[in-house]
Amino acid sequence: MSQAIGYSTTPPAGSSRFSSTSLYSTSQNPSSSTINNNPNPNRRESARSSIVPIQQQLFGGSTTQQQGNVNILDRSINKTKNAEIALSTWAFLFAEVISYSQSRSDSIADLEKRLSTLGYDVGQRILSLILLRNTQTSNLKDPKREHRLIPILQFVHTQIYKYVFGKPADGLERSSEAEDEYMLILNESPLSQFISVPKDMSDLSCESFTAGLVEGVLDGLEVPARVTAHWVGDQYPDHPQRTVILIKLDQKVMDREESLGK
């Protein structure tokens, strides 16, 4: 793995998840002609109390909260629910993730495994956050949990993928060759949009990160599966970046689905 993976183009500026603003104000008091060797001891305290905590500058808050430090754990979990981050920031971050993983991998398979592992951890955390927010929104202490396979896959296709990438996946299909295989269709994924893969690594799929993310979510929903990413753009001229996220379900999932269908 001699060549490094880099950008194919400079990622455009856009918006996707978080935004923040900061505001600073200063005041200047003209000096007097008399030097005071014993300054007012309360001046420092009054100046300190007038400074808005950095958490409030970045995330906002009520007027009463601005008078003291606010622990991040005390803020509402829905505070940044619809916030966004610049697409260029996301692209640079993911490129660095790939570069870091590549420098510690000795083969394409090892690199894809590392990306999948990172995605798995992200998927587990995203699922916990979304379920917690849904629980707070429904005002139910013990909301109904879905156990049927198709609604769970639709949840991944729509809510999970949209939360991460800003829109649902392009398709959800069942394999015609095996009843325990389903496919998430990605026509143009933002992950590989700005990644330039060397020719000697043409078999690499950066979407292994997405595959790991999906696997982490499914495991959290008690739907164990082996999830892998496969580039099929050579078969679709209109979508040269088209990727299939293949979901190979565990046999116990199929047995449970059969028992629930009776």
Which residues, 6 or more positions from 180, have their beta carbon under 8 angstroms from its beta carbon?
248, 249, 251, 253, 254
Q: Is the pLDDT of residue 168 over 60?
A: yes
Per-residue confidence band for 210, with pLDDT thresholds at 50, 70 and 90:
very high
Would you state the pLDDT for residue 191?
78
Q: What is the mean pLDDT of residues 176-196?
A: 86
Instruction: Tell me the angle at which helices 208-220 and 108-138 cross, rounded to the nearest 10 degrees.
Output: 40
For 67-211, strand residue ranges (E) read 171-174, 181-186, 195-196
Q: Is the pLDDT of residue 16 over 70?
A: no
Would you state the pLDDT for residue 111?
92
CA 203 to chain centre: 25
Using DSSP, state whether 123 is helix, strand or coil.
Answer: helix
Domains of the chain, CATH where assigned: 20-28+37-82 (no CATH), 87-260 (3.30.1380.20)
Would you state the pLDDT for residue 256?
92
Burial class of 61 by CB neighbour count within 10 A (0 to 12, 13 to 18, 19+): middle
Which tens digits make up the pLDDT trace of 84-108? 667 778 788 888 888 899 889 999 9
Q: Is the pLDDT of residue 127 over 60?
A: yes
Neighbours of 93 (CB within 10 A): 10
pTM of the model: 0.68
Which tens digits make up the pLDDT trace of 242-251? 899 999 999 9
How far apart, in Å, are the Cα atoms of 237 and each of 3, 186, 188, 234? 27, 14, 12, 7
Per-residue confidence band for 237, with pLDDT thresholds at 50, 70 and 90:
confident
Which tens digits make up the pLDDT trace of 213-228? 999 999 999 999 999 9
Which tens digits make up the pLDDT trace of 59-87? 444 444 444 566 656 666 565 555 566 77
Would you state the pLDDT for residue 138?
72
Q: Is the pLDDT of residue 28 over 50?
A: no
Angle CA 94–187–125, to nearest 5: 45
